[in-house]
Amino acid sequence: MGATAVHWPVPPPTGFSVDDLLTARDLPRRAELLDASLVFSCPPRAFHSITVDLLVAGLRDTAPEEFRVRREMTVVLDRHNGPAPDIVVVRPQAATGPDLMSYEVKDVLLAVEVVSPDSASRDRTTKPHKYAAAGIEHFWRVEEEPAGRPVVHVYELDPVTRGYVHSGRHRRLLEVAEPWPVRIDLARIGCL
């Protein structure tokens, strides 16, 4: 059996745009745009998938009616940056229908990244910096502890510096007051 030829998109002289990302039909499902470059992620490991499921369920169970919880949707930060956080919380006016492919950054209240081996640098450094600079008020970064359990690092935007301030680390129970009162039993991951 021979190797399958792979077609790699060639960037235009000014790099790719968010429009390119959203209109291309031959990209892998987990494609993002960072600094005018297309970035592809490996298929998620079980820890990543289960953790996202746990957090999405917990956020949806506690969310006030004025917010919507979505997973893996492109967030348009600017013309050359369209990351796809693992989870976003958006204002309801942004959730305009099932054919929507992206959200404007002004409509995003919370971005969540579950760190994976192939995306660790992006999830810990690149994306949080871009989310803060774009004005996303809340950011959660989820790491896997050696025992296979999640630890959630919670950050809030400092409006003066446009950077995130670490406001908590949660291991067995994620309990926060912002962006609304949320209580998620992280220990349940072993039951999923």
- 6 lies in some domain: no
pLDDT in tens, the chain (192 residues): 556 766 777 888 999 999 999 998 888 888 999 999 999 999 999 999 999 999 999 999 999 999 999 999 999 999 999 999 999 999 988 888 888 999 999 999 999 999 999 999 999 999 999 999 999 999 999 999 998 999 999 999 999 999 999 999 999 999 999 999 999 999 998 776
- In sequence order, what are the residues at sequence separation of 6 or more whose Cβ sits closer than 8 angstroms to the Cβ of residue 29? none
- 167 lies in some domain: yes
- 11 lies in some domain: no
Q: Domain count for the chain, please give it.
A: 1
User: For strand 37-40 and strand 87-90, is the pairing parallel, antiparallel, or unpaired?
Assistant: unpaired
- 27 lies in some domain: no
Residue 156, domain CATH: 3.90.1570.10
How far is 136 from 25, CA to CA, in rounded Å?
Answer: 29
- 29 lies in some domain: no
Please choose, from the candidates 20, 30, 3, the residue with its C-alpha nearest in 3D space to the C-alpha of residue 114: 30
Q: What are the φ/ψ torsions at residue 175 (nearest 5 degrees)?
A: -135, 115
- Token digits of residue 24: 């291309």
**What is the DSSP track for 61-74?**
HH--TT-EEEES-E
Which domain covers residue 163, as residue numbers?
44-191
> Exposed (0-12), middle (13-18) or buried (19+): which is 96, by Cβ within 10 Å?
exposed
Q: Is 186 helix (H, G, I), strand (E, B) or coil?
A: helix
- 130 lies in some domain: yes
Sign of CA dihedral 25, 26, 27, 33: negative
- 7 lies in some domain: no
Asked if residues 185 and 168 have their Cβ atoms less than 8 Å apart, the reply is: no
- Token digits of residue 83: 């990351």
- 5 lies in some domain: no
